[in-house]
Amino acid sequence: MIATILIGVVALIHAYIVVLEMVLWTKPRGRQAFGMSAEKAEETKVLAANQGLYNGFLVAGLAWGLWLGEAGFQIKIFFLGCVIVAGLYGAATVSRKILLIQAVPAALALAALLLGL
């Protein structure tokens, strides 16, 4: 039950990231979230949309695992692992904030899942 809730939270976080990267990137909210000037946001909006699409695949995978319930155990492990790796890479290359926003919640969800919580 706890794992299911945490996985849902991770999926919602990434759904919000999809919106930020694909819809709001050049808008004030998107620029604020990523610390971008209007010019830089406009220059990078295609790259951001691509990132958003990949985050959407993470959401889809987590939702798929949740939809399958216990039968989705391995799918949940795989997609949480993907989120953790992406969060670690983002923290190392872009901002440590990504560690807290993406990797830590996914690690907590994975731990809860593996512990049967």
Predicted local distance difference test score (pLDDT) of residue 77? 98
Predicted local distance difference test score (pLDDT) of residue 48? 95
Predicted local distance difference test score (pLDDT) of residue 59? 98
Integer Cα distance of 111 and 52 in angstroms: 26
Residues of the chain with pLDDT under 70: none
Integer Cα distance of 102 and 13 in angstroms: 8
Tokens of 19: 């919106």
Domain ranges in the chain are 2-114
Residue among 78, 70, 69 at smallest CA distance from 106 = 78
Predicted local distance difference test score (pLDDT) of residue 92? 96
Give residues with Cβ within 8 angstroms of 52, minimum separation 6. Answer: 17, 18, 19, 20, 21, 22, 25
Q: Distance between alpha carbon 37 and the CA centroid of its chain, in Å?
A: 23
The amino acid present at 76, given as its one-letter code, is K
Predicted local distance difference test score (pLDDT) of residue 53? 96
Integer Cα distance of 64 and 15 in angstroms: 14
Give this prediction's pTM.
0.93
Predicted local distance difference test score (pLDDT) of residue 12? 98
Integer Cα distance of 27 and 7 in angstroms: 29
Predicted local distance difference test score (pLDDT) of residue 117? 94
Measured from the Cβ of residue 29, the count of other Cβ atoms closer than 10 Å reads 12
Predicted local distance difference test score (pLDDT) of residue 38? 94
The answer to whether 58 and 82 have CB atoms below 8 angstroms apart is yes
